Chain A
């Protein structure tokens, strides 16, 4: 039995208590959860000792299974076994058809164009399927760590766009997780690798997973991980290799493609199996055995390499582009780190070696490295680490812009800009007396609207009538540390304003999430009122702890006795409300504390900047 901890009299135990946090790698093929325990970040196994959770969900009437159990029934029940759902996150049916995806289950278009999958247990969205996987990982972590998770970091491919990021966040919300940060997968890998080896200099992370490809170039400098550039393809991965091998098998075995979902699923499984085998052997056997069909054959490594060569080539153009964007030449790269299960394929390693002119690092398990990096970041974010720690400076993967006259896109924030970032640009009216302006937000590198992804549209209304070109409309884009965008527009002369948090068309609306939460597994027993109370309690705890430690640090220095008294009173009131069970009262007390502390918070922020620079040599002023 663990010994109970007793804190010193007069000292709160709260700031010293270790908070439970986890990193989650929500992968196309496999998912993992990791956490920092006794100073070491490690992936957490399930009850039977397995670390990897296949990202597969099986739906049956009244029962949903996840992971190995779901994978085991994939061939018997292909239509109700959902795999590789990450490829559909934030996508509409149209996108998926364009991408040439042909999953062995039935897709349909749901409300607001969001893709849904038909199962015997009802239609499900990719967000819900992902939430089911996340929920399983949450339960695993909470059982292993022995308590509720305070927060998690979830990784996403660096090349995920706005819609895909939102979908991931929605899934986490559905699974009852508090997301501290969405972290880019290659950055997570760099963290795990960098902290492990204490490496310095420029590194390249080549991350080829089940369904996505990322390349990131980072500079490591005394615990700061600065992403210089990132590139990739959010629909390119091991799945595509499997599909090419499957097509080859079908050709060899004389399968036309309309022979039923069971056979198709089996072919896909065999395709993946031989691909994996060919890492260790030169020839691998293929065996298709079903009641109505039987075929045997073999595939050689040379044949596999030929089949997948075009895919591997497709990863090299983004590598060149990322190097160009980073302003770094190949020989400045100190180390190449391989991430993702698909980098086990020998031809991939060979291509990377040839491209960068050096052997890549493979001493960290490419399956686990992302989850471990995420766990390290979660530990920092939740506040378990002290002052001298790492810092991640990430970038946006795709340019953000606005539609202008003639269907052209004006870029406001170019790709590979460090986040958080805020940029503004001024526009004007086109016609005399124009009183409204349509703002169309787009993401992508191309010049025309049709070639970029539409993120959101909103209107700025109530502009006073003026002659064309007289109004000055300032549109501001703000991207936060999760890489998520907010846009606002303001007419500078009249002060008319409009703004939105960009919610991509294939995301869920807040009310949809609310409804799902009400029905969902994570909160079946807990009604919305209780949920609200818990949220406020978490927020209150955060506020109390942050303020307490701030006051201890510089309350004396930055506050007058009078100000201090006011703050102490508000804080005491909040602590009192926190002990009760009235969510609204807690919220009011939080608002009150924030109001009383507004000046203090600003002073602290400025004092932080001064302190940060004070420790460093300022460049000498030239005479």
Chain B
């Protein structure tokens, strides 16, 4: 009997907001896992062991979602009834797409040059842009009007582009390493 009626924020005892206190989130996560983790039930009945695995998996998912600004935003928008259309809506402004192309070219150049320093510089650039987007997300969630939430959804899609780029840049860095 998993508590599907409880959302991730409630499960981990934090308020359903974008600006959550990550330290409190982590502390609550550890407290809940202490009570639910399968290690607690190694000696219990088969049924309890199974329940514990299911609960612990859900708690892990909740924590994993809430600690990431991107996943947290998507989840929070969902709770407020907004679909981010993260896969389906690729309708981005030309200027944004141009920026992405330039960053990707910079990554290709770094890979060709075999320069981890260049990749590092690019990663720092991505971090800066992500932080900027996080601020806008925070403001949009705070405002909470329909228009503001649509803006949040757009920014989440932007964040998704950066997240993929970051992943690819880290892949390149890893390859240069080996």
Size class of the A contact interface (CB-based, 8 Å)? 35 or more
Interface residues of A in 374-395 (CB under 8 A from B): 377, 380-383, 391-393
Residues from chain B with Cβ under 8 Å of A615 in the complex = 31
Contact between B13 and A613, CB atoms less than 8 A apart:
yes
Contact between B42 and A391, CB atoms less than 8 A apart:
no
**CB within 8 Å for A382 and B57 given contacts A601-B48, A612-B34:** no
**CB within 8 Å for A609 and B174 given contacts A421-B60, A481-B39:** no
Residues from chain B with Cβ under 8 Å of A552 in the complex = none
Contact between B64 and A418, CB atoms less than 8 A apart:
yes
User: Quick check: is A224 within 8 A (CB to CB) of the other chain?
Assistant: yes
Contact between B3 and A606, CB atoms less than 8 A apart:
yes
Indicate which residue in A221, A478, A545, A616 contacts B57 across the interface (CB closer than 8 Å).
A478
Residues from chain B with Cβ under 8 Å of A620 in the complex = 15
Indicate which residue in B15, B36, B42 contacts A619 across the interface (CB closer than 8 Å).
B15
Contact between B48 and A391, CB atoms less than 8 A apart:
no
Contact between A594 and B38, CB atoms less than 8 A apart:
no
User: Quick check: is A597 within 8 A (CB to CB) of the other chain?
Assistant: yes
Indicate which residue in B15, B20, B36, B45 contacts A609 across the interface (CB closer than 8 Å).
B36
Contact between A622 and B17, CB atoms less than 8 A apart:
yes
Residues from chain B with Cβ under 8 Å of A613 in the complex = 13, 28, 31-32
Q: Tell which of A5-13, A25-33, A277-285, A316-324 binds the partner.
A: A316-324
Chain B's closest residue to A544 (CB) is: B45
How many Å lie between the Cα of A478 and that of B58 in the bound state? 11
Closest beta carbon of chain B to A411's beta carbon, Å: 11
Closest beta carbon of chain A to B114's beta carbon, Å: 15
Interface residues of A in 397-427 (CB under 8 A from B): 417-423
**CB within 8 Å for A546 and B43 given contacts A420-B57, A422-B61:** yes
* A302-327 contact mask (Cβ, 8 Å, vs B): 1 or 0: 00000000000000010011001000
Size class of the B contact interface (CB-based, 8 Å)? 35 or more
Interface residues of B in 150-178 (CB under 8 A from A): 170, 173-174, 177-178
Residues from chain A with Cβ under 8 Å of B21 in the complex = 619
Residues from chain A with Cβ under 8 Å of B48 in the complex = 546, 601, 604-605
**CB within 8 Å for A391 and B44 given contacts A613-B13, A622-B17:** no
Contact between B45 and A597, CB atoms less than 8 A apart:
yes
How many Å lie between the Cα of A419 and that of B38 in the bound state? 10
User: Quick check: is B35 within 8 A (CB to CB) of the other chain?
Assistant: yes
* B19-62 contact mask (Cβ, 8 Å, vs A): 1 or 0: 01100110110111111111100111111100111111110110
Given A226-B30, A321-B174, A420-B56, 11 new contacts (CB under 8 A): A181-B39, A317-B174, A380-B39, A382-B43, A418-B60, A419-B60, A420-B53, A609-B11, A618-B14, A619-B20, A620-B15
B interface list, Cβ under 8 A from A: 1, 3, 11, 13-15, 17, 20-21, 24-25, 27-28, 30-39, 42-48, 51-58, 60-61, 63-64, 170, 173-174, 177-178
A interface list, Cβ under 8 A from B: 151, 180-181, 221-222, 224, 226, 317, 320-321, 324, 377, 380-383, 391-393, 417-423, 478, 480-481, 539, 542-543, 545-547, 590, 593-594, 597-598, 601-602, 604-606, 608-609, 611-613, 615-622
6 A-B pairs within 8 Å (CB atoms) are namely A317-B174, A417-B60, A421-B57, A543-B45, A609-B11, A613-B32
